Structure 1
Amino acid sequence: MLDEMVFRSGDVPTADRFDRWRDLMNQVYAPMDVRSDHAADYRAHQRLIGLGPVSVWPGEFQPLVFLRTPRLIRQYDPELYHLTLVVNGSGGIALGKQETTYGTYDIATNDTSRASETWVGLGTAKIVGVCVPKAMLPLPKGRADQAIGRRMSSERGVGALLALLLTQLADNSGQYTPADAPRLGVVVADLVAALFAHTLDADRSLPPDTHRRTLVLRIRAFMEQHLSDPELTPRTVAAAHSISPSYLHRLFQDEGTTVAAWIRRRRLERARGNLTDPALRTVPIHVIAARWGFTGPAEFSRAFRTEFGAPPREFRPSRADST
């Protein structure tokens, strides 16, 4: 059986769970500032599988933020590349001005030598992480560094091969002996190098604006689907896409609007569509307003008049129109 260390929050007193898990991550990975809104009763299940100098990290944990600051890098840098296979959940990473989001079946990348902010979004995340010493990768260091921060897929090509190996190691570590560990570590490092090289070659023709536009389209589709939810706000939209609210606002500034204005406009357009529908003529206006996320009739009426120049009742078809 491979050497393995296991941490279960349920084995630790409630008040100590987050601190113990944070200390463990600092000891076996690298010094980090770890924060979570769930710290009072943190739930995590983390394993560490040693493959010689390579380590594999299957885990499940609640939302949190990892900060690797210049001060912490000076304190200690193990010179590792870190990859995270997202089995379930979402997250993101900011490396300077570069910010990338991840979802289920993506592979996230990071570097212990670079200041970064990494976060896990809503709900419990399930991941398989892997740490590889930079010196093990058969790639020029500068080229390998270029791959860090990019979103990679685990559903095809080399990414699928790496994901298959990592999930097999996570699910069946008992099938291997300690003598297998160094050989498996070399295989993992080679696949990581191949994934980096493949990603850099495939992405050469895709300008950054393409990735940015794709993210904006995903966000718009999400907001369109949740217009009826009164809790739909810029903060919840950002959290659902594992990006910071400030980055979300920058995306929409480039589109010539704000997130709140976009949501309000689309809600009003949907409400106007309901008001002009003869089949909904008998549905009270306040019910239509609530249907599209407005919490009060007065608020809805003011916003509607401002947007369309007339009160909602003037958009309702008369009885003659419906016959």
Structure 2
Amino acid sequence: MLHEFVFRTVDLPVSDRFEAWAELQSRTHAPMRLTRIALDGDRADRAPEDYHGHQRVFGLGDVTVWPAAFDPIAFRRTPKLIRQSDPETFHLSLLLRGEGAASWGREQVAYAAQDFHVSCSSMAFDVRTGTEPVRTVGVEIPRSLVALPAHKADQVIGSRLSGRTGMGALLAQLLTQLAADTGPYEPSDAPRLGTVVADLVTALFAHTVDAKPRLTPEAHGRTLTLTVKAFIRRHLHDPGLTPTTIAAAHHISRSYLHRLFQTEGLTVAAYIREQRLRNAYRDLTDPDPVLRATPIHAIGARWGFPRAAEFSRAFRTAYGVPPSEVRYGTSAARYESGLVAK
């Protein structure tokens, strides 16, 4: 598991909570002034000075990720505070719940769920949430790790970037997966994960300003591999999904596509099969009544196995049991197949 720092205001006396939260935010990002915003709704169960905030922080090499949930608040970074301390970082905040707005001089941008807000420790800003609690995943990344000319990267500051499509969706998916569970990753994985995050941030910024990122061939390959994998996951239902069609959709050769996957110890066909079987397994074990009533062969066809025998064979190879046994359990599967007398 990655090393994490966890902070919860509820572990402190009520009178100390907001001050401690404000200090933590200034340490995590850069010195800021924080002001509380009143919550909507009935607060009879909360003391007026109470403040709820929960933050986890984990490092990925030089990149820092911090999932957080907190009451409404306003952040302000002034020129004076910049002179006081400037770590020269970009901050990206993926809004998962709530809303907010940022001001940059005369510019103002509103943000909703699944939007990225981008700020920079070297520039003054005002950010306000709405009047409901907020949940975010924040990323602190040194400016030096964004492989774009500074004047290009700075054009992204203050923009509203979507986390629902394109490069934004890839970055959002990675961040939400990391925020949900760091258990599968060892501390030695942290620098590698940080490199992937930096590559995706660079690609997202470059796409936003329509610039060509100064990525190394290795970084370009990692970003392209993530894009290809996302394409594959969106088209698993298509029996015609092949290395040829995947390569054509990304304007690369089949041999280059195979090389991308070989660097991860995979083949394209194996990745497609693994993803299809994983989705089929999920559907077979889902308690939803509609899925329970869907024939097993139909679930296989839904995930790219049009022939029932082929689906059963591939499933047994992957999981050691036939699909029916996963859905019904051993005795029920044997009963259904006629191996046990009725």
- TM-score band by shorter chain is 0.5 to 0.7
Spell out, residue by residue over 1:172-211, the C-alpha distance to the aligned partner (whole angstroms, 9 max, x if none): 1121111111111111011011111111129xxxxxxxxx
Structure-2 separation of matches of 1:122 and 1:45: 17
Per the normalisation by structure 1, the TM-score is 0.61
SS at match of 2:49: helix
- Aligned residues: percent identity? 50
Maintained 8 Å contact 2:37/2:74: no
Q: What is the correspondence of 1:251-270 to structure 2 with a 5 Å cutoff?
A: none
Shift of 1:28: 2.5
1:3-18 matches, cutoff 5 A: 3-18=3-18
- Determine the C-alpha separation between the residues in 1 that align with 2:206 and 2:115: 17
Match of 1:304 in 2: none
CA distance in structure 1 between the partners assigned to 2:36 and 2:114 by the alignment: 24
TM-score, length of structure 2 as denominator length:
0.58
- 1:113 is paired with a residue whose SS is coil
Q: Which residue of 1 aligns with 2:139?
A: 130
Query: Of residues 105, 109, 119 in structure 2, which corresponds to 1:96?
Result: 105
Q: Within 5 Å, give how 1:308-323 maps onto structure 2.
A: none
Query: In structure 2, the residue corresponding to 1:145 is in which secondary structure?
Result: helix
CA shift for structure 1 position 95: 1.2
Distance 1:189 1:122 in 2: 32
Aligned counterpart, 2:114: 105
How many angstroms does 1:40 deviate by? 1.0
- Please name the residue that 1:309 is paired with: none
Is 1:168 the counterpart of 2:159? The answer is: no
Alignment of 1:118 with 2:127, yes or no, is yes
Partner of 1:28: 28
Larger RCO of the pair (alpha carbons < 8 Å, separation 6+) = 1
For the residues of structure 2 that align with 1:163 and 1:28, how far apart are their CA atoms?
A: 20
Paired residue for 1:206? none
1-structure distance, mates of 2:88, 2:107: 20
Task: Note the C-alpha offset of 1:49.
Answer: 1.2
Equivalent residues of 2:100, 2:129 under 8 A apart: yes
Alignment of 1:245-256 (within 5 A): none
The residue type equivalent to 1:191 in the other structure is: L
Runs of 4+ aligned residues of structure 1 deviating over 2 Å after TM superposition are none
CA offsets 1:258-298 (integer angstroms, 9 cap, x no match): xxxxxxxxxxxxxxxxxxxxxxxxxxxxxxxxxxxxxxxxx
What CA distance in whole angstroms lies between the structure 2 residues aligned with 1:156 and 1:96? 29
Contact 2:2 2:185 in 1 (8 A): yes
Pairs aligned (count):
202
Among 55, 58, 70, the alignment partner of 2:64 is 55
Matches within 5 A, 1:159-238: 159-201=168-210
CA displacement at 1:96 relative to structure 2: 1.4
Q: Which residue of 2 aligns with 1:319?
A: none
Unaligned runs of 5+ residues in structure 1 are 203-323
CA RMSD of aligned residues (A): 1.2
